[in-house]
Structures are given as C-alpha cells and as structure tokens.
Structure 1
C-alpha cells in the first residue's frame, strides 16, 4: 500500500511551462525578442523521435520559435558540425539541442563541444559543466535542474541533509551532485563499484536514482521518510506483450517506506522538457543583455 507522498512532476511542469510562456510573451512585447529553440535529430530512433516531437510542441505552446532539423542516420559528422556552426551564428536561435544518442560515425563529444556555450541549453559543454562544478554561472543540465526544483518544492531548505546520488554520468549523476552541494547537502555519489550499495542508500535523506536499471532500488534500501527522486525510464515486458515504463526504483516497495517519491512516468520526465524551455528563455535573455526572470519556480506553484 502506498504511504509516501507522490511528487507530481507532470503537474509541476505544467505550471512551470505556463509561467515560462507568460515571460516569453513579455519578452516579445517589451523587447521584440522571441526565444528560439533548435533541435537536431540524427537517425530514426523511435524514442528520440517522440522526445523531439514533444520538445518542439511544448516550445510552440510556450510561443517560442521552434526549429527542427532531421538528418539521416548515415549523415557524415562534418555535416552535423556544419549545421551547428550555422545555428551558432543565427541570431534567431538562442538554444541548440542535439538529441542523443548519435550514430557511431558521429562523435558526441565533438558535437557537444561545437555548440556555443551560451546556446548549449542541455548544459553539456565543458565550459558549462565546469561552471557548475566550480560554483560559476552557466547552463545547468535539464534533468538535474528539474530534480532540484522538485526537491526544493517539497523540502525547502536542504542544508545539512544527507543526499545520495546513485549514478555518476555526466548527464545526471555528476551535475546532480554539484547542485545538491550548492544547497549545502552532504553528498555521496554511489555507483556500480560502491561497496554495500544498499547500505549507502539507506543513509540518505534524499536519494536520487539514475542508473538505468529497472527496479534496482528496493524498499529495504530506503531510509524511512526519505525523499526519493527516480530518474530512470526503463521499458519492461508485460504478460500482454505491450510493455510498460518503470523507474530505477521498485515503486511499490519504496513508496511503503519513503516520505515522498516521484512516479515513473509522470515524475522527472516532464520536468526535463520544462527546464529545457526555461534554459532557452534564460539563454535568450542573456544573449540580448536582458535580466533573467527570477522566481519562476515559486510563481509556478503560487
């Protein structure tokens, strides 16, 4: 039986996108600037196509300019880099996102490094990653930023709380740990080589699971009352053959112990796209020398 509070990322994201849309209208009316988001999709991966379609739709709903570029799976790396260079120079484009994964002939690091840091709304460029790690000012990766918003809404001041980030990827694990350190949490990054992984997780007031293994974290890994953020999205087979999405956390057993938990789907996923739009708005403001809107998170829950 579910006991934990369900952290409704879908609802939070809806409110956040609406608030972003209001700021986009003001930006256009007061400064004649329309934030522009360019998304590049290489190949025909079905999941990537769905993500790109959702990103473009939500950008348009926020009245942003949306630019989509679909390249064949066999495209040479040079063609991808040439497109990025054009978008870097295009004043109508404030944010550039390259949908990952890329086919083997395209080096993801080369592509990410080619994006102008101030247009890198994914926050993956080494300059942005370095700024986050050292407490500087740069673009923050969207998924960790969305996780942080959900945590701050529920917990408020997180100073001194023990946080465990399960996973050490450059996309989620490492930036998530940096964001939690900024909130004065005591942070541990745990991973596949961690000794007694379950015990490390049991010590956490905040547990962020981002390993990409279905239902890896069980209820007996959770500290009673802890806040659990499940970043994982894994498709499992079901008896009817349709399959369904589950997280890295075994939801039923964890929800019986945790104080609060994000569901999958409907938790972190919607926040990722909302934060992508937030980063695009921020990038447009910075590139035009305008102040970045403050208090969007608080206004979204107002």
Structure 2
C-alpha cells in the first residue's frame, strides 16, 4: 500500500532553491522550512544548518518527500527530539520531524494495549499510561526522545527495553509503501533495531502490550525512576544522553571514570562531572569539539582497558 499520489520527479541538475520549491508544491498538509538552525533541533545544542526541515502531518507528504529526495540524490533523515544525534555544521539534506498528527494515543482495554504515534514524547507516553494504570513503559519517563526514536534505537533503562513490550510497528519504506510488522518479525538487539538510521524506513506508530496495575503503584514506580535520573545525570547542561554503549559485561561510565577522564574538556565540550558517559555543552561548543572528545575517549579506553567503545549517539552525515 502506498500513500504517494503525486508522481515524484527527477529534476536533473538544479539549484537547491528549485528543488525546495518543487517539494513545497507537492505537499498537502505539511510545512517545509528552509535552512533550519540545527542547534534548535537537538538536545546537545550543536550544529549549523540543514537544507530543509519537513514538519510532517501526513503519510502522503512523507512519501512525496522521501521519493523526491531519492530520485534527486538528496539525503533525508527522520529526527525526533534530536536527543541521540550529533549534528554537523551543515547537512545538505531534508530532515523530517513528525508533527501533531503523529502524536496521538489509542488505548484498547480488551487486551491492555496502547498504540502511540511515533512523534509522541517518551515522557508523555509514560505519563499517559500511568494515569490509566498500565505498567511496562515507566522507564521511558527519563528518556528525552520520542516513541519512534525509542523503537529505532531500542531505547532502554533500568533493565527494560522498548522491544520487551512492543507488539507491532507501522512504518513506511523508502518507496512509500505502508507496512505493519509484528514483534516476532523484527530482530532487535542492544540499542539497535531494523529501523535504525542506516535503514531508510519511517516509523509511524507503535503498539505495546502492557500490564494493568493500580495507577498509584505505576506512578510511584515512575517517580522513583525519574528521581534516580535527576540525581545521577546532568539535567541543566545540554547533552545527548549516554554517548557510548555499554560493552559486554562492562559499564562505559565506569571505564571512563577509571581512566581518569571525568571532567575532561575539549573546546566547549566536557565529560560530565555527574555521569561519565554523558558529555555536556559548556556553551559555544562545536560539532568538531564533540567528535574530538569522543575520539579521545575511545582511544584512551582502548589503551587503558583494551576495550573498544561504540557510540550510542548517531552522527548525522
């Protein structure tokens, strides 16, 4: 099934301005912003500008955008809250952000399932479920992303992962075909899924199986998890969350601290004094500052521990 109604056009050699004019003309409900400030689109507050930002309000406009980008050699990428992205000084493509129509919630009492639009914030989803008294996704309360991002990254915390409760995912492929995949058709691993950034797929909504409980019990558990994060992770300085994945049988933050890197500064970036697997923007940091600090940490951990750290944060490239 395809939502695309207007045939995309291969426009040949043309200016960015003409491409954006063509793209704007085929949109039905969505808006296109030219040269958005990337620092406003990610929690690290880094980056310069991109070619364009699509605030998507319907599947048809997503399809039109991805197909026209594909035919004309223009890169595209879906972003949520930008909480797990390292933005560059310039990106020559179209960023897609899911708008209000992708932030809806449908609850089904009969089987205790909830379907979230992929654009809904993780914290909002957790709070809505707590009011209903449905347990499972309390761990999302402290993750500063969206449901779509949680599915793509298989986000997790406190011993739980998104895939543990996932029932199905509605998504679009690069050619605009609508698909629904059940959990048993999808292969998830630690902080990875079939929908990660290397795959040109757009998560539209996700359905979760949950457990009915006393609403107050769910709220208390969620409050405890939230308090834990506030106590142990930086809240006031711009950051992207955990920078590195935990290696097998190790904790990245402990390795970094054991190497004496807590508080290390490169340019405007610093390894957080509160949590060693967080890097904070001290003000005026550049994407290059972040890349250099990440590279320095990886090299040092290899020298000290013979362990290769892999980044959890994705670089927009």
TM-score, normalization by structure 2: 0.27
The one of the two structures with greater contact order (alpha-carbon pairs below 8 A, sep at least 6) is: 1
Instruction: Indicate the structure (1 or 2) with the bigger Cα radius of gyration.
Output: 2
Question: As a proportion of its length, which structure holds more helix?
Answer: 1
TM-score w.r.t. length of structure 1: 0.28
